[in-house]
Amino acid sequence: MNVMQRIIFYAGLLLLLVTKPFILNAQEDNEEVAEQLVELGKETMRATQALEIAKEQFVQAADLDPDNIEANWLAGEYIQRTSNKDRSVKYFKRVLELDPDYRFDVLYWIGRGYQYGYDFSNALEFYQRYYDKLYADVNYRGMDKVSVKETEKKIEEAKNGIEFMANPMNFSIVNVGSAINSPMPDYGPVLNEDETILIFTTRRKDGNLNQDVFEDNFPYEDIFISYKKDGQWTEARNIGDAINTPFHDSNLALSADGDDLYIYMDENEGDIYVSSRIDDSTWSEPEPLSDAINSLNYNEKSISISPDKSIMFFSSNRPGGFGGDDIYYATKNERGEWSRSRNLGPVINTEYNEDGPFIDYDGKTLYFSSNGRGGMGGYDLFKVEYDSIEDGWGEPVNLGYPINTPDDDIYFVSTKDGKRGYYASIREDGMGFTDIYMVTIPENLDEQLVAVNSTDNVAEEKEVEIDTPPVIEEPTEVIESDPEPEPEPEVVTPVQLVVATFAEGAPVNARVRLTKKDDNTVVAVGVKQPGVYVSNLTPEQPTDYILSAEYPGYVFKNVSVTIPAATSETQTITKTIDFQRASTGASGVLRNIYFEFDKAKLTDNSYSELNKLERMMAENPGIRVEIGGHTDNIGPASYNKDLSKKRAMAVVDYLIDKGIDPSRLTAVGYGEERPLASNDDERDGRELNRRVEFTIIK
């Protein structure tokens, strides 16, 4: 039995003990098992890089024994090192309550947890408290100290987050679906100019050339490819062993014509290679780029090439830059050779990291990511344009919320028509870790960016004096008939949706989300004030949306909202959401999960709803839930009961795959026994009866 097998075996044994209440009744037993889980988590990290496994071991320990200060600290630390980082707040706050002096920087890490959860007001409060602590104890030199400079940067990010969320951009963001994405990390999408080829990197097991796992317990990276047919992406498949190896392989860029694929290889500390397409299923052996691009003993890890293949942009941590990773460029001469690379300069690069350049099809717009500018956390996406008259780059502008998040947002690519973009992100409707998303870019993007990124410019524009109009002389000739004046375009006023959230009568800062009902497209929601949210929509016809809200310790809510067609008249819709405590007897309907017809297989549009249920159970580890399946009365009663049980089990299986303990879940099929409405009507009856419900039973 190897180290990883031994760790998993003992982790399973301890989990079995934890979930058998007749074995563990006394508090001291819980404390003992919690200590063993902490040691097991440490052993996991000594032997491997399996962060997710260690995190689960520390979280189990902290939930078993909330007074175990080490378990709580490690649970919070490893949550922030993996996924669902906002859940770290609960464990770090326990540490603060148990012993405020356990870690000098505990206030800082609570702030980071709030920041990851989009709660920038609380993040700002805890960052400021830690900042004050730093100046109250200027002589402290412990290893658990976060510097003044880094804290000031986080304070700026929290302030930026408040501003960006108060002024959301009109990006529409939608998960590209299970033909591309998997429960494992999927990232780095690149496309050809026709948007008919999509290539990306994945760490899924299915189709991987290496069925073993890396030290972090995830499969190795492989490059996959999908083709668009009849407007839909085909099931992604491995691009083949001409490019992929049994070890890590990741793509970086695809030329506009789809013929040249640039990939990253670990050779020489990290170099860029290129492979040429021979036909739809065959690629040449990758070859390294020239030493004008690849440096000796330094890292090059992202690249973009102009549509005519004459200019190349890439990132590197080579000496002579402005910070960590900088963006460089090179041009091709008449002989087809790349010139010596040059740094893009301080307008683009900072003392921190710039990465993921993408040169747009207009040849002058550059998208890139930076963690050293005015962002809201991690890497943020920026846009900058080259001014040929001034012969230089303009000022980069942050693409704002919701395309940017408190985590890393990087490796964005645009389509040729400029209407869409693709990138990978960790979002609420994801299938697992990072998923690939398609972004619909608003037509007035530049105007929105100016308004959000520079309020000073707006003020200056208002102060500009208007010149007196020139005098127009009367015509000397008689005009027989004036042309019909063109009608002025009708001004459309957005419909404003205002949402207020309450828990037990008090306003609360909830997690609020708005999606279109027909295609699950995410719509930006801004924070007007604590507990009050606003979204401005301009539908051409009445459109159905799903408004969802979550608050820790309470049952999440879903509300259907129909937004009327936008007109010239001001329209405001107000919705109030009151939360119910997540306690015994509380229930809810999972209306927004969908199954294939007459089957128990979940469709892509179900993940957002199921992730809310998973989050509620993860944030409330003491609750147990019954998942009940229901049908209408079409078909035999026995068949309906069996189908409803299978659908309930599909939900249970999904939650188990996401890490919820099976002992906390029960699946029941009720068939047609408990209708919510009459089965005589489809829209207001049978459709409502075909549902899955959850009920907290303990």
User: Read out DSSP for 472-531?
Assistant: PPPPSSPPS-PPPPPPPPPPPBPEEEEEEEEETTEE---EEEEEETTT--EE--EEEETT
Quick check: 330 pLDDT over 60?
Answer: yes
pLDDT of residue 538: 85
Architecture (CATH level 2) of domain 179-455: 6 Propeller (2.120)
DSSP E strands in 332-445: the ranges are: 342-343, 354-359, 365-370, 380-387, 392-393, 397-398, 410-414, 420-425, 435-440
Among the listed residues 442, 438, 440, the one whose alpha carbon sits nearest the alpha carbon of residue 429:
438
User: What is the token pair recorded at 402?
Assistant: 């919701």
CATH class for the domain made up of 3-164: mainly alpha
Cβ 482 vs Cβ 475: under 8 Å:
no
pLDDT of residue 169: 87
The Cα–Cα gap between 371 and 281 comes to 38
Q: Exposed, middle or buried by CB within 10 Å (0-12, 13-18, 19+), for 588?
A: middle
Q: Name the band, by pLDDT with cuts 50, 70 and 90, for residue 377.
A: very high
DSSP state of 682: I
Quick check: 600 pLDDT over 80?
Answer: no
CA 571 to chain centre: 31
The Cα–Cα gap between 125 and 403 comes to 25
CATH class for the domain made up of 582-698: alpha beta
Q: Give percent of the chain with pLDDT exceeding 70.
A: 87
- What residues does each domain of the chain span? 3-164, 179-455, 492-580, 582-698
pTM of the model: 0.84
Quick check: 143 pLDDT over 70?
Answer: yes
Quick check: 4 pLDDT over 70?
Answer: no
DSSP state of 542: -
The Cα–Cα gap between 689 and 632 comes to 5
Q: Name the band, by pLDDT with cuts 50, 70 and 90, for residue 530.
A: confident
Rounded to the nearest integer, the mean pLDDT of the chain is: 86
Is the model more confident about 7 or about 401?
A: 401
Average pLDDT of span 383-412? 92
pLDDT of residue 686: 67
Among the listed residues 78, 65, 138, 75, the one whose alpha carbon sits nearest the alpha carbon of residue 104:
138
Q: How do residues 277-326 score in pLDDT, each as one tens digit?
A: 998 778 999 999 999 999 999 999 999 999 999 999 999 999 999 989 99
Place domain 492-580 in its CATH homologous superfamily: Immunoglobulins (2.60.40.10)
Task: Give the lowest-confidence range in 118-122, 218-222, 690-694.
Answer: 690-694
| Encoded amino acid at 313, one letter | F
pLDDT of residue 588: 85
Q: How do residues 6-59 score in pLDDT, each as one tens digit?
A: 455 445 544 444 444 434 455 678 899 999 999 999 999 999 999 999 999 999
Task: Give the lowest-confidence range in 41-55, 223-237, 594-608.
Answer: 594-608
Quick check: 3 pLDDT over 60?
Answer: no
